[in-house]
Amino acid sequence: MMGIAQYTDEVPVIKGTSGILVLNKKEANIPEHSNCILCGKCVDACPVNLMPYKIARFSLLKNFDGADEYHATDCIECGACSYVCPAKRPLKESISVAKKEILTRRKKAK
């Protein structure tokens, strides 16, 4: 899912708001994740044709050069990969970490 979780409904709706998703406690529960089973569902779901499971793995290993080789910065952070993952892996979150690190390194290199 794209966007930022809010702890209250007292947040204004602004021009850039594209939608509001309200979850009950059961729906908002973050399930335990398990090991990647290399099913490829995240790859099929990615609208940018990335390999989310590879990028996320490199990110978790703190191998940001590897994540960059798989174009982590092209991720639009839609969350489709995490949503379809049968292992319930937090792929989008791991990719976001890699993106931030890669972009920070690029800025420092300039």
pTM for the whole thing? 0.79
Spatial contact of 37 and 87, defined as CB atoms under 8 Å apart: yes
pLDDT value, residue 1: 46
Tokens of 64: 């940001």
Domain spans, the chain: 32-109
Least Cα distance to 57 among 49, 65, 67 occurs for 67
Least Cα distance to 42 among 66, 69, 20, 75 occurs for 75
Q: What is the pLDDT of residues 59-107, one digit of tens each?
A: 999 999 999 999 999 999 999 999 999 999 999 999 999 999 999 999 9
pLDDT value, residue 12: 87
30 burial level (CB within 10 Å; 0-12, 13-18, 19+): exposed
pLDDT value, residue 97: 97
What value does the CA radius of gyration of the chain take, rounded to a whole number of Å? 15
Mean pLDDT value across residues 23-31: 84
Q: In which band, very low, low, confident or very high, does the pLDDT at 18 lie, cut at 50, 70 and 90? A: confident
Q: In which band, very low, low, confident or very high, does the pLDDT at 2 lie, cut at 50, 70 and 90? A: low
pLDDT value, residue 3: 65
How many whole angstroms separate alpha carbon 27 and alpha carbon 9? 17
